[in-house]
Amino acid sequence: MSTINNYSKKIILILVFLIINLYNVIGHLEGGKDKAVNGYLIDFGYDPKNPIANEKTVIVISLFNETTNEVIEPTSMWIRVSSTEDVIFAGTFKPENQNVAFSFTFPHGDVFEITTRFFEDENLIVETDFDINVKGKTYYSKIIILFLSLILLVIVLKSILFKPKKV
Confidence at 38, pLDDT banded by 50, 70, 90: very high
Nearest in space to 92 (alpha carbons), one of 116, 76, 70: 76
End-to-end CA distance of the chain: 92
State the Cα–Cα distance between residues 99 and 80, nearest whole angstrom.
16
Query: What does the pLDDT average to over 19-48?
Result: 76
What residues are paired with 1 via a beta bridge? none
Query: What does the pLDDT average to over 33-58?
Result: 93
Domain ranges of the chain: 2-161
- The CATH code for residues 2-161 is 2.60.40.1930
State the Cα–Cα distance between residues 132 and 79, nearest whole angstrom.
14
* pLDDT tens-digit map of 2-29: 555 666 666 665 655 555 444 444 444 7
* pLDDT tens-digit map of 108-144: 999 999 999 999 999 999 999 999 999 987 666 567 7
The predicted structure's pLDDT at residue 31 = 84
